[in-house]
Chains A and B, each alone.
Chain A
Amino acid sequence: KNQVEQSPQSLIILEGKNCTLQCNYTVSPFSNLRWYKQDTGRGPVSLTIMTFSENTKSNGRYTATLDADTKQSSLHITASQLSDSASYICVVTGDRGSTLGRLYFGRGTQLTVWP
């Protein structure tokens, strides 16, 4: 079954600290893996997108890694800010056959940054 699992479910960190969020997936074959940030009540906003041949992608203080062999990805946030408080969602896109066009969402990690 094609699934995307994220951990931890929730995380609280102090402002200025770093953190790492995890994403494990079973979707195969897959086209790309994305990380989104979603503020409460708003639509998700893309942070990074990686194809299966890429193993790292950065966007400011956000760095995503991908290991297509172990089917794992991580999102590292450096020097966290209060505005980083949000839900972070991992999304895997199916590549062909029955998964073509399907997007598989993780349930997200709820990050809270405290001052």
Chain B
Amino acid sequence: EAQVTQNPRYLITVTGKKLTVTCSQNMNHEYMSWYRQDPGLGLRQIYYSMNVEVTDKGDVPEGYKVSRKEKRNFPLILESPSPNQTSLYFCASSRRDHQETQYFGPGTRLLVL
């Protein structure tokens, strides 16, 4: 089954404690991306990757890091989480040319105390 998986689905942490949210896709997609969604603001792109070892900043990259060492995985790293990073996070993947649909993961709810 074609899918994007994220782990964990729910996470409560404290300010400053490094965390990683994993994202994996099984569709051999070149393009992967991370978004955060906050009430009233809609989805905002954090980082995206056009292919292995190629990453670029989206609209709200501050406080986040990513890596793309393998085609299927695109982890999101919060080196020192802060309460304003409390949000719902989505990972997504698609073909590089974007001419087909982008598949979204189920989301990760993060609470930073």
Chain B's closest residue to A48 (CB) is: B101
Asked whether A51 is an interface residue with its Cβ less than 8 Å from the other chain, the reply is yes
Asked whether B74 is an interface residue with its Cβ less than 8 Å from the other chain, the reply is no
Q: Is the CB of B107 within 8 A of A45?
A: no
Which residues from chain A sit less than 8 Å from chain B, CB to CB?
Answer: 31-32, 34, 41-46, 49, 51, 89, 91, 93, 100-103, 105-108
Q: Give A54 to B42 CA distance when docked, in angstroms.
A: 26
Asked whether B33 is an interface residue with its Cβ less than 8 Å from the other chain, the reply is yes
Contacts of A42 in B (CB 8 A): 106-107
Nearest CB of A to B25, in Å:
12
Name the segment of B13-21, B44-52, B62-70, B78-86 touching the other chain.
B44-52
Secondary structure call for the B interface:
strand
Secondary structure call for the A interface:
strand
Nearest CB of A to B109, in Å:
8
Asked whether B110 is an interface residue with its Cβ less than 8 Å from the other chain, the reply is no
Q: Give A51 to B97 CA distance when docked, in angstroms.
A: 11
Nearest CB of B to A54, in Å:
11
Contacts of A93 in B (CB 8 A): 98
Q: Is the CB of B43 within 8 A of A105?
A: yes
Chain A's closest residue to B43 (CB) is: A105
Q: Is the CB of B45 within 8 A of A43?
A: no
Q: Give A41 to B33 CA distance when docked, in angstroms.
A: 18
Contacts of A32 in B (CB 8 A): 98-99
Contacts of B100 in A (CB 8 A): 49
Q: Give A105 to B104 CA distance when docked, in angstroms.
A: 14
Chain A's closest residue to B107 (CB) is: A43
Q: Is the CB of A51 within 8 A of B102?
A: no
Q: Give A43 to B23 CA distance when docked, in angstroms.
A: 13
